[in-house]
Homo-oligomer: A and B are copies of this chain.
Amino acid sequence: MIIQLEKGIEKNKVDSIQTTLSKLKFSVNPVTTQFEDYLVCIGKTEFDIREIGHLQGVKDVHRVSDNYKLVSNKWKTKNTIIDLGDDVVIGNGSTSIMAGPCSVESEEQMESITKHLIKNNIRIMRGGVYKPRSSPYAFRGLGIDGLKMMHALCKPRGIKIITEVMQVSQIEEMYPYVDVFQVGARNSQNFNLLDALGGLDKPVLIKRGVSGTIEELLYSAEYVFSKGNERLMLCERGIRTFETIYRNTFDINAIQVLKDKTHLPVIADPSHGVGIRDYVSKLALASVIAGADGVIYEVHEKPEEALSDGQQTLNFMESDLLVQKLNKLLSFT
């Protein structure tokens, strides 16, 4: 059960509600977000909802049978819309495009990619500066300097930045330069990180784990929301299966299931979703047909020279064409 409290409710009223809930054997989790105050109640499923609805300070009460409560659309039937400013909005029915290199590599690279984004009216740049890598000897990103470089180019042009944060201690330093914090697949159950991002007032995109279930992804989102951050989106990026002919198995079913169970925007990552450049564009289009609110893909002036993920990165021409098709598709859906 989720209880929405009245704005500015006095503490003694909250106490009184909590007392009632305790008597009803509910375990109560108070949640304060950017927008509202809630009590998330875990406990029995059969009770008279009016017992709670009439209490002073209660704005609304919702039964939510799902175990993930706040991110469920059982209570919040209106979809979450995330406004990044400068008319960059995610989840409003348009197809959001986030594009950029796997890793931020150099000033030259950033300049060429910025031009490409502007040309195609892409308003959100992706680009990793802290790179999780299986091997300790691989390139691990330019770090905060890379992010500042990115920011210097994007900020004046109204381009928003999404980039991966790998641990709690990076958040503070990254904060001024980031528009959307991305939680990577390997960290999708890094609960301390999720907790910390829940305390921010900037949006968070959570990638599904390499073998994370859809339910686990929703729980991870629940971590962030229940710590206070409602500005959340989810990302399908392919799962690990027995098939080895491509990098990951893109779970297109997940797009529909997530849209069906949650009010959060759902983004598709076709680059990691298949891991082979030739297949990225059609996969992006298919994801949008399936209901994705946006796509995030890797693009590089010279993919064959990229420091990471070159094999799944579009070149500029391929990216131009993809954007055209995504736009054309808008009229279809």
Chain A residues near B (Cβ < 8 Å):
27, 29, 40, 42, 67-68, 132-137, 166-169, 186-187, 189-193, 195, 210-211, 213-216, 219, 222-223, 226-227, 239-246, 249-254, 256-257, 260, 273-274, 278-279, 282-283, 285-287, 289-291, 328-329, 332
Contacts and interface: CB of A to CB of B under 8 A. Distances in A.
A210 B256 CA distance: 21
Contacts of A210: 211
Contact of A249 (B191, B239, B287): B239
Contacts of A227: 136
Contacts of A215: 134, 245
Nearest to A28: B137
Contacts of A251: 241, 243, 249
Contact of A242 (B187, B211, B332): B211
A68 B278 CA distance: 22
A257 B246 contact: yes
B192 A222 contact: no
A245 B251 CA distance: 12
With a 10 A CB-CB cut-off, give which of A213, A253, A329 has the most chain B CB atoms. Answer: A253
Given A167-B193, A253-B274, A256-B279, 18 more contacts: A42-B137, A134-B219, A135-B222, A136-B223, A136-B226, A169-B169, A186-B190, A210-B211, A213-B244, A215-B245, A239-B242, A241-B251, A252-B286, A253-B279, A256-B283, A283-B290, A329-B332, A332-B332
Contacts of A274: 253, 256
A68 B210 CA distance: 21
A245 B213 CA distance: 8
B166 A191 contact: yes
Contact of A216 (B134, B167, B249, B260): B134
B242 A242 contact: yes
B282 A256 contact: yes
With a 10 A CB-CB cut-off, give which of A195, A219, A256 has the most chain B CB atoms. Answer: A256
Nearest to A247: B253
A85 B136 CA distance: 30
B242 A246 contact: no
Contacts of A226: 136-137
